[in-house]
């Protein structure tokens, strides 16, 4: 390599120091070396460890429902309408809804105990005393809830589609899902379902058309979410430009 082609090592390595260019008959006079990174010692401040419970402990940490009948008026003692969210996931809708409707009492059920624990802690930090959550299977809890007709609204946001045939029994659909919901809803009460899977939306529509306890609006779907809160999945679907299918069914009066 010719001498005039020799450049500043510091510049090649990102050094901010300025160096004189090398002439044809002289070597470079100043070489910039990067400052060596010294190893950390025990005296150096260490980053605080992230306080995250061991995943195996979530079963014990998650709020569990009591045994026997679940009296909603006792679980949610403050006055106001009772709302129920089935499968709240990361809890964005649940917490936003509690802020948008401070006069309502809201019970959330989530089968993943990690999120039941996390959302319960967030609700406490936010001072949302009208919120209560359980880490449990809604299909087991709904039949135990009382009183009949004591709930004003039920929310189901983006239920897992469970694509595989062997998982079909896990899908929230049919009389085994909507009979307990109809039992809990008061006359005129609302069942709000959202999904970004058109096939699942059509399944919900078919189930609700056949159920004597619900009536659907003209056209089956509604355009907007009227509850002043969004689930995590709804926010992501809107950001990604995905269609969201929204169903608002009402509880028919008992005949």
Indicate which residues carry an active-site annotation.
Answer: 160
* CA 133 to each of CA 118, 156, 199, 218: distance values in angstroms, whole numbers, following the listed order: 10, 15, 30, 34
Residue 35 CA to residue 38 CA, distance in Å, equals 9
Bridge partners of 146, per DSSP, are 71
What is the DSSP pairing of strand 151-157 with strand 82-86? parallel
Ramachandran angles phi, psi of 215, nearest 5°: -130, 145
Bridge partners of 249, per DSSP, are 191
> In 3D, which of 58, 51, 232 has the Cα closest to residue 135?
58
């Amino acid at each position: 390599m010719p001498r005039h082609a020799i450049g500043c090592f510091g510049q090649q390595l990102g050094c901010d120091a300025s160096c004189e260019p090398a002439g044809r008959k002289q070597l470079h006079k100043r070489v910039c070396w990067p400052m060596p990174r010294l190893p950390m010692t025990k005296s150096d401040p260490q980053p605080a460890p992230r306080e995250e419970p061991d995943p195996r402990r979530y079963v014990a940490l998650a709020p569990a429902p009591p045994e026997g009948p679940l009296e909603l008026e006792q679980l949610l003692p403050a006055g106001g309408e009772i709302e129920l969210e089935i499968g709240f996931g990361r809890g964005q809708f649940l917490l936003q809804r509690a802020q948008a409707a401070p006069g309502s009492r809201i019970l959330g059920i989530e089968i993943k105990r990690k999120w039941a624990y996390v959302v319960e802690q967030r609700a406490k930090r936010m001072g949302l005393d009208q919120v209560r959550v359980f880490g449990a299977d809604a299909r087991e809890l709904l039949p135990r809830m009382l009183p009949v007709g004591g709930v004003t609204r039920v929310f189901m946001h983006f239920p897992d589609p469970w694509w595989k045939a062997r998982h079909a029994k896990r899908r929230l659909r049919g009389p085994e899902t909507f009979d307990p919901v109809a039992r809990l809803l008061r006359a005129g009460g609302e069942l709000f379902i959202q999904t970004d899977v058109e096939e699942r939306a059509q399944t919900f529509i078919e189930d609700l058309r056949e159920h004597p306890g619900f009536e659907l609006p003209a056209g089956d779907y509604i355009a907007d979410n009227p509850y002043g809160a969004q689930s995590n999945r709804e926010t992501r679907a809107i950001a990604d430009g995905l269609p969201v299918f929204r169903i608002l069914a009402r509880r028919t009066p008992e005949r």
